Structure 1
Amino acid sequence: MARMLAILITFFFLLTACEDSESALPDSIEQPPSSDQSQDSGDTENEVMTITPLMISNGEDVQFIDWTSNEEVIYISSYNGESSINLYNLVSGENNPLFITQGFIQIVEVSPDKEQLLVQVSSIDHEATLHILALNGKQLSTINIPSSEIYMDWNEKNPSQILVTSFSEDWSFQSYLWNIETSELTTLQIEQPFSEWIGEESLQYLDWNVEQPELLAPLKRMDLDSNDLSVVTKDIYYTKSYGDWFFTLAPSSQNEDKGVYQFYNATSGQIGSFTAFHLNRFSEWVVPYHDFVESENRFYFFQPLEGGDIDFYEEDFVLSSYSLTNGDTNIVMEGLENKPLQCSPNGGYCLYGYQLEQVISIQSGKVTSLISEGIKKADAM
């Protein structure tokens, strides 16, 4: 049970860190391209945006969530005891409230197809209320689940299905399959609470030993049609699925300060890998913040310039990208902090920061605030 609590805390408060600089980068890392070279990005000269920062009131708290298009983002606003979910156009400054409630909005997630929102609002004790909203604010599905905490994973290949795991106060859990078209919940029997969709009909998870703390665990996959269970790979620290493919993070057998990123197609096996420095906190790894741009087939991630204990790390981080198409790894930008990242569908820009309150231009390397300070103005990127 202690291990289960540790896993839960790690999942909800995961910090991250990732890639190196000119003097310390692995051989596979390429330096930024010169101005006359193409960077294989959706951000071209004809697509450069002029960002209109969001004007907020004194005392208003804002949390940006994700992109719904290459110009529009979802954000949560909390002000005077009221919370709202809003659709904001970064170019025009048009702001459309989609959902307003008294109290606190706990979770908002944009669907893989960018057409719906998953929303959890505060409700009565030991119960979670979950809504599915269209981008015009229309409620499409609502369920109530007994729980103290909730974990959810949206099926990227079939957006009508969401995995929901509810936790009790003693951290016991129950997993469900939520069909948002029918609002039906189906009970699932899964060994671990933090499973992820891989493909359309399978789930996979790290099978941690709850009785004895471990640094590594086997990655297992369960087919929902047959309930067949298989071991995908062993001795993994972290994994993340993106529909038809996933990556794992494991220790390097050649350098204790480095980790190995391995990329797999769900059906055909390994498709690429690279090594990068990693940082530790006590007995845990600090997993790097990262995101994937499907239109470019490119994985974006942070890396430190050296390995070791994060409490003694004083350097900046490098934002880099890895192509799943040809295996190229390139530096995007240096001198950044390791903070959450959400990239636009075309890969031209990334929301950045603990509230995703800034925008990184992949082409120019410029970082712009999304929140205006007093006077509403436009910043060209």
Structure 2
Amino acid sequence: MILLKRKVSYQNHTLSILLIVMTLLLSACVNKDPQKSKTSAKPDKSKTPTTEQRTEWKLPVSPPEGEFYKFAGWISDTEVLYITNVEQTSNVYRYQLLTGKSALIYKSKYPIVTVEISPSKNYILIHSSPSSYEGLVTIIDAKGSQKLNKSFPSHELEFEWNPYNESKILVTKFAEDWTFSVSLLDIENSKTKELSIPQPFIKWMNEEEIAFLNWDENNPALFAPLIGMNLDDESKKPIFSSAIHFSTFRHLIMTVTVSKQDQSKAVYFFYDQSKKEIFSFSIPQLTNFSDWLVPFYDYNENKGQFITLQPLSSGEIDSYTSGFQLVLYDVKKGSNKVIMEGLENAPITISPSGYALLFGNSFENIIDLKAKKKYKLIKE
């Protein structure tokens, strides 16, 4: 009788435990948050590779053939162009930063002086040098197909690509004594037209109008008026009365002048195409012999960001040793931020999306603007 009671008691106890477990399971099912379950099933987007993650860059570059000469710039957000020299010839490569692969797109029979990439990145200008008195200009598309091949008698050449019509390029030809002439190169029709322009360094204002600082060689000055010129009828008109430097971007004009209140400051002004001022800032001014130094800069049109190197204090460039800050200015928002300190004043060019830039006399460095870090592109 006692044994029977213990058996019944044990069965009741077991049944109680089963009922408790079932209750807890049912409760868990009823109270489970469906939204929480959905969220936890999502992949972690922070781990999804993007072109802006520096960890994806495959560095340094190892050229397949020849001796590294220099990088030419960005051909896309993830690709750069570089040049190698092979004895008396040169090669142009596309380098994919995310895969670490180089692709040969052009072989030159002559040493390459420079490579210019069109504003849209669709075309590439290759300036090679068959001799000291001849410049050969070759235009290819981004895949390497040749569009034009033209020789210019010259000692040096300068180019200005029309961002409004990329079939047109201004070519300034310098002789050995630095006298010059300017031609308009029409890629589409494979023609050149000689222009009567009094200055060698020119910028495009729009598809048919150019601008230049009209320096007076007979009366050297520290400032010059900015003049606009229509290429159809060669008519000229003043744009601004005084500047020491200027540049143009699509729908934007930038001038550099000296502060009227403080001669030790340089002032950068930004105007729209109607000449209305939209932004300005000032930086310490460095003198360079008989004029002023304008540090290297670049502008990202997609984001409206102007990036420049600027000194920490004013003075003479020969005795200045404090290095340069890399500062990014948002022209649209009117804000700025320091990216890096202690850099030299060297050429810079921003990637199309504005997340990185090439830096150095041969563009041999790449700077991650978000992480604020600099990396070597090529082994020393």
Q: What TM-score, normalized to structure 1?
A: 0.82
Q: Does 1:51 align with 2:38?
A: no
What letter corresponds to residue 267 of structure 1 in structure 2?
S
- Is contact 2:156–2:175 with CA below 8 Å preserved after alignment? yes
Unpaired runs of 5+ residues, structure 1, are 1-43, 374-381
Higher helix share: 2
Could you tell me which amino acid in structure 2 is paired with residue 178 of structure 1? Answer: L
Residue number among 119, 124, 137 corresponding to 1:117 in the alignment: 124
Q: Which residue of 2 aligns with 1:352?
A: 359
Match status 1:362 vs 2:369: yes
1:301 aligns with 2:308: yes
**CA deviation after TM superposition for structure 1 residue 204, in Å:** 0.2
C-alpha root-mean-square deviation of aligned residues, in Å? 1.9
Which runs of 5 or more structure 2 residues have no equivalent in the other structure? 1-47
* Aligned-partner Cα distance in 1 for 2:215–2:296: 22
Q: Displacement, 1:246?
A: 1.9
Structure 1 range deviating more: 125-134 or 290-299 = 125-134
| Cα deviation digits, residues 108-142 of structure 1 (max 9, x gap) | 10001001101111124532211101111111011
Structure 1 residue 148 and structure 2 residue 194: aligned?
A: no
Counterpart in the other structure of 2:110: 103
Deviation at 1:60, TM superposition (A): 1.7
Which whole-Å CA distance do the structure 1 matches of 2:129 and 2:332 have between them?
42
CA distance in 2: counterparts of 1:338 and 1:368, whole angstroms: 17
- State the aligned residue count: 330
2:20 corresponds in structure 1 to none
Partners of 2:322 and 2:176 in 1: CA distance:
40
Name the residue aligned to 2:273: 266
Greater shift, 263-272 or 340-349, is seen at: 263-272
Residue 152 of structure 1 deviates from its aligned partner by: 1.2
Deviation of 1:79 after TM superposition, in Å, equals 3.1
The corresponding residue for 1:242 is 249
Q: Which has the larger radius of gyration?
A: 2
Contact in 1 for aligned 2:64/2:102 (Cα 8 Å): no
1:312 match? 319
- State how far apart, in whole Å, the 2-side matches of 1:131 and 1:56 are: 22
What is the distance in 2 between the residues matched to 1:73 and 1:289?
Answer: 20
For 1:117, give the aligned amino acid: I
Task: State the AA in 2 paired with 1:71.
Answer: T
Contact 1:103 1:122 in 2 (8 A): yes
Cα–Cα, structure 1 residues 312 and 169, in superposed 2: closer, same or farther, change >3 Å?
closer
Q: Partners in 1 of 2:325 and 2:215 — Cα distance?
A: 31
| Pair 1:61-2:68 in alignment | yes
Matches of 1:232 and 1:88 in 2, distance apart? 41
Q: Which has the higher contact order (CA 8 A, sep 6+)?
A: 1
Percent of residue pairs identical: 35
Q: Distance in 2 between matches of 1:296 and 1:109?
A: 22
The answer to whether 1:93 aligns with 2:93 is no
The one-letter code matched in structure 2 to 1:63 is: K
Name the aligned partner's letter for residue 320 of structure 1.
V
Alignment CA distance shift 1:45-1:301 (3 Å)? farther
Which residue of structure 1 lines up, in the alignment, with residue 85 of structure 2? Answer: 78
TM-score by length of 2: 0.83
Counterpart contact for 2:89–2:109, Cα < 8 Å: yes
Amino acid of the structure 2 residue aligned with 1:174:
S
Deviation at residue 267 of structure 1 after TM alignment: 2.6
Give the secondary structure class of the aligned counterpart of 1:338. Answer: coil
Give the CA deviation at 1:319: 0.8
